[in-house]
Amino acid sequence: MAWDGNDSKIGLEVTGKYGKYYVKEKIGNGGNGEVFAVEIIDGGDTLPKEKGYAIKFLTVSQKNVKEVEKRKKRFEKEIRQVVTLQNSVEGILPIYDASIYSEDSQKKLWYLMPIAKPYEAKNYSIKQRLEHMLQLGESIMQLHAIGYAHRDIKPKNLLMFKKRLYLSDFGLVWNINDQDEHITEAKDCLGPKAIRPPELQSAGDINDVDYRKSDVYLYAKTLWMILYCNNSGFFAEYLRNRSEVYIDKNKLKIETAEPLHCLMEEATKYQYWERADIDTCVEYVRNQLQIVNGDISEKALAKWKYMEQINYARITIPSDECVYRDSTSILRILNSMVGAVGLVLVENGKEYGFFPLRKVRCIQGNLFEIAISNPYYNGRKKIIELAFSNIRLKKDMSCTLDSNIYMFDNRQVPVYTQIIEALQSSEKRVRLNAIYLIQMVSLE
């Protein structure tokens, strides 16, 4: 049974498996409940000796019966999962006693834990914040290694206990073998709204998502928020050209923040399967701490600083031209130009034609087939097979392709080295196998 939000709990006596507890003042709010300081008034001999204890009560409105049942299941699941994990994963705030172990007929839902302080990043140096984020990362890494995901990582769920950072609020915990995920319905939104990864905007079929990658996204956003003592976070991917989110080494007073840039870029990608894993993130934090601590060779430090400056220059200083050599990039650019450009082929300085681009397909590697409108045959479609070494997008907005010589397969398709002969042939498909410059000119 859940407590109604209007119920007064101060002064209550709650009986658990290991003791009887007197509820004192309220000290905080959890994701789906309230937290109070308590005093042990009977028993408690087998409990770990702490400076103070707290109880978290499940508190929901009783008006929506379906919502109450769902929250109860989540709360009970949180208790069982934390008790299962707390002795094998470092940095999980432990549960010492709970209503699920009691014989109380009322079955008000609660659990007992040690009192821990809310984490206040502003009270710590940049070095200490990074050390705390390393501790958090290592805890998440241990969770992930056994198939679990937290799904609600945020500064509000971080606590300091025994001079270490602890992670709390496991109400949305998930594991890869979860059979009870129906308590999170398809229309539910999971995790903190301000920094919620795309796949948690609406929880669909759990078989479609590896929520450990959602933790990676949330970990990166939490790290950024802790570094900047910013409780709002930021939406979408981390991009170095977004000045409002850029991690500035000068503001943090460190020699280079390149490991943090790498972490943020790799961990906040829109598609969850493209993100780094938590182990990679933890390694980047270790690298950053080595830089802050001066525990790094001059050669390694110089490499990080070089990477940071090159990456910053690449996105902030306009280049004379951009060169694309990957076949996937070439194909995407060419297909985006279909219907908008014509091709002018240049051989030994002489220009041939203006051939409207109709279709592009990659055959293999950097070998493509290009469908053009051929003016030599009343604009009929002609397929040209040729290989590209690159596409160059220049500062003056012109775009050119460089072809190269390629070892074609053995299909019976005529091969030409002279452009004009290939275009004037009656064949519907030809191969060009030489080095040409190909200009893309807009249709007018």
Q: Could you tell me which residues are annotated as the binding site for ATP?
A: 56
Strand-strand pairing, 110-114 and 33-43: unpaired
In the chain, the amino acid numbered 215 is: D
Give the whole-angstrom CA distance, residue 212 versus residue 144. Answer: 6
Torsion of CA 201, 205, 208, 211, to 10 degrees: 50
Q: Inter-axis angle of helices 211-228 and 258-267, to 10 degrees?
A: 140
- Report the DSSP beta bridge partners of residue 404: 387
Annotated binding site: 56
DSSP for 175-222, written as a single string: ETT-S-GGGS-TT---S-STT--GGGSS---GGG--HHHHHHHHHHHH
> What is the SS3 assignment for 300?
helix
**Quick one: which of 238, 229, 234, 174 has its CA closest to 206?**
174
Q: Which residues contact 78 (CB under 8 A, 6 or more apart)?
A: 169, 170, 171, 173
For 443, the token pair is 């249709």
